[in-house]
């Protein structure tokens, strides 16, 4: 078969990349919320700056600095709405995800700035943000590995606190993001090994065996994974037929439609693995499991090194913010790993990778005293263990799909194409439904490709 021209391939790849990086809104029911309002936004922004910079009281220096920082963030958010990509999601509004991307870029820039400061400077900034941090020390944190031999209801109940609920909600959220039972359980079990390996550095990692095995893995994590996957199953079975709010006449129906704007516009059933996936896809998923451990470690090391209580607003806000940023990042990573037409990783996923690496560097640079007590053998064994376990777990999932679900068409090559380093147009798998829909919108491109390559698999869905 005659190969496609390079510019045609680039057009196809660009169309596929745009579906995860700059996804358009398919059905717009209220045009007012999707029209550009750049002049109005500029006028409102200037009026707000004039009001807060000229009218406010400027006698307090700290208040002036806080107001200036808030104004910088305000303008950066506006620029994000105007210039940054939507990402893979469009609900409740693309502007929301542009703001999320903009704030993630701003957070990355702050981390890079802090990376060049001394520990005392960073600590002074945190104390300036919240003076109560000056009197808190990490040794005031709650200890969980006490009275482990006393297994009574009272002792077990003392280990159940607000963080048990946070464990459950966190794993339910992770299940909604990852949507694969094997990968989720691999991350959950490996995290317990991670806690054991770093327990000599982080005292709150020291837990009783029944706390780690029963309360954490089986109860909180397991129940959260089960609930999250049940939510995914319900969303997969739902019929997505959106009606314009203008076509709804009852007030109750309009209010319901407004609330449904905060739900997904569609729900794609993911296929991380199948029996025919290539080694590149296999190791990319193993990499995801390992990176997840690093991300979780950053949370605890940041809290420990810069001495913040677990329930501090900065810690909670960071956790919620990182959770929101991870949602489009995981989606973009999934498309990059599994889709043959996606040749670049999404910008939100790239920024999150940079955030994760910078947080780790910030911890290493400012935790020299802490890491000087590192037991090298523990860390080496931990790294080898999580690498080996992630490979074995992912390979086990492949074998499960191959032998247990061998007859299920959902895991066939057509449903889940292979990712290869070099792929010509004639050798590639069929385009996904999203790409085909994008190409159909550009009928001239679609007809040209079909005329030049009548046998190319443009009419098949993944």
Per-residue pLDDT, 43: 86
Per-residue pLDDT, 109: 95
Given a cut of 80, is residue 383 above it in pLDDT? yes
Q: Which has more confidence, 456 or 90?
A: 90
Q: Residue 250: pLDDT band by 50, 70, 90 thresholds?
A: confident
Whether omega for the bond prior to residue 92 falls within 30 degrees of 0, making it cis, is yes
Span of 1-5, 78-82, 351-355 with lowest mean pLDDT: 1-5
Tens digit of each residue's pLDDT (9 = 90 or more) over 142-198: 666 666 776 777 767 776 767 788 888 989 999 999 888 888 998 998 898 888 888
Which H or E element spans position 452? helix 443-452
Tens digit of each residue's pLDDT (9 = 90 or more) over 387-446: 888 888 888 877 777 777 654 444 443 444 445 444 433 333 344 444 444 444 444 444
Q: Which has more confidence, 154 or 67?
A: 67
Taking all residues of the chain, what is their mean pLDDT, rounded to a whole number?
77
Per-residue pLDDT, 140: 57
424-429, Cβ contacts within 8 angstroms, sequence gap of 24 or more: 424/3, 424/4, 424/9, 425/3, 425/4, 425/8, 425/9, 425/12, 425/453, 425/456, 426/1, 426/2, 426/3, 426/4, 426/453, 426/456, 428/340, 428/341, 428/457, 429/340, 429/457, 429/462
Q: Which has more confidence, 37 or 64?
A: 64
| Average pLDDT of the residues in 214-231 | 88
Per-residue pLDDT, 452: 47
With pLDDT > 90 as the criterion, what percentage of the chain qualifies?
Answer: 21
Per-residue pLDDT, 145: 62
Q: Which has more confidence, 121 or 18?
A: 121
Per-residue pLDDT, 159: 67
| Average pLDDT of the residues in 214-232 | 88
Per-residue pLDDT, 116: 93
CB 273 within 8 A of CB 414: no
Q: Which has more confidence, 320 or 270?
A: 320
Given a cut of 90, is residue 92 above it in pLDDT? no
Per-residue pLDDT, 29: 63
| Average pLDDT of the residues in 339-364 | 89
Span of 6-20, 56-70, 147-161, 178-192 with lowest mean pLDDT: 6-20
Q: What's the 3-state SS for 284-344?
A: HHHHHHHHHHHHHHHHHHHHHHCCCCCCCHHHHHHHHHHHHHHHHHHHHHHHHHHCCCCCC
Per-residue pLDDT, 427: 38
Q: Residue 26: pLDDT band by 50, 70, 90 thresholds?
A: low
Q: Residue 121: pLDDT band by 50, 70, 90 thresholds?
A: very high
Given a cut of 70, is residue 11 above it in pLDDT? no
Q: Residue 251: pLDDT band by 50, 70, 90 thresholds?
A: confident
> Who's near 24: CB < 8 A, 6+ residues apart?
86, 90
């Amino acid at each position: 078969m005659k190969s496609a021209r390079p510019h045609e391939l680039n057009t196809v790849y660009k169309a596929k990349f745009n579906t995860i990086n700059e996804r358009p809104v398919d059905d717009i029911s209220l045009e007012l919320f999707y029209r550009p309002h750049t002049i109005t936004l500029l006028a409102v922004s200037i009026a707000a700056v004039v009001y807060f910079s000229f009218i406010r009281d400027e006698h307090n220096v700290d208040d002036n600095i806080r107001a200036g920082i808030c104004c910088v963030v305000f303008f950066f958010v506006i620029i994000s709405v105007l210039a940054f990509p939507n990402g893979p999601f469009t609900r409740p509004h693309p502007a929301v995800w542009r703001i999320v991307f903009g704030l993630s870029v701003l957070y990355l820039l702050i981390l890079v700035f802090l990376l060049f400061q001394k520990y005392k400077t960073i600590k002074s900034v945190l104390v300036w943000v919240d003076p109560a941090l000056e009197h808190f020390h990490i040794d005031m944190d709650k200890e969980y590995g006490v009275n482990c031999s006393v297994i009574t209801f009272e002792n077990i109940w003392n280990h159940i606190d607000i963080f048990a609920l946070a464990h459950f909600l966190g794993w339910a959220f992770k299940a909604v993001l990852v949507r694969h039972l094997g990968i989720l359980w691999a991350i959950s079990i490996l995290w317990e090994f991670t806690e054991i390996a770093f327990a000599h550095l982080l005292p709150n990692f020291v837990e009783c065996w029944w706390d780690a095995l029963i309360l954490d893995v089986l109860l909180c994590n397991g129940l959260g994974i089960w609930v999250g996957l049940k939510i995914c199953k319900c969303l997969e079975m739902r019929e997505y037929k959106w009606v314009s709010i203008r076509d709804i006449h009852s007030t109750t129906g309009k209010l319901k439609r407004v609330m449904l704007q905060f739900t997904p516009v569609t729900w794609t059933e993911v296929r991380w693995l199948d029996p025919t996936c290539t080694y590149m896809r296999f190791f990319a998923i193993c990499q995801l499991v390992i990176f997840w451990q690093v991300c979780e470690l950053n949370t605890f090391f940041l809290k420990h090194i810069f001495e913040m209580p677990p329930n501090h607003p900065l810690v909670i806000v960071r956790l919620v913010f990182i959770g929101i940023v991870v949602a489009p990042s995981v989606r973009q990573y999934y498309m990059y790993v599994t889709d043959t037409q996606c040749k670049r990783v999404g910008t939100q996923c790239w920024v999150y990778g940079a955030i994760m690496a910078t947080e780790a560097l910030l911890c290493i640079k400012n935790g020299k005293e802490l890491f000087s007590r590192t037991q090298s053998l523990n860390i080496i064994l931990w790294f080898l263990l999580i690498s080996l376990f992630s490979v074995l777990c992912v390979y086990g999932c492949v074998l499960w799909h191959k032998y247990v679900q061998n007859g299920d068409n959902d895991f066939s090559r057509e449903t889940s194409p292979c990712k290869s380093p070099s792929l010509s147009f004639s050798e590639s798998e069929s385009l996904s439904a999203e790409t085909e829909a994008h190409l159909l919108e550009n009928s001239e491109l679609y007809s040209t490709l079909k005329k030049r390559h009548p046998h190319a698999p443009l009419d098949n869905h993944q």
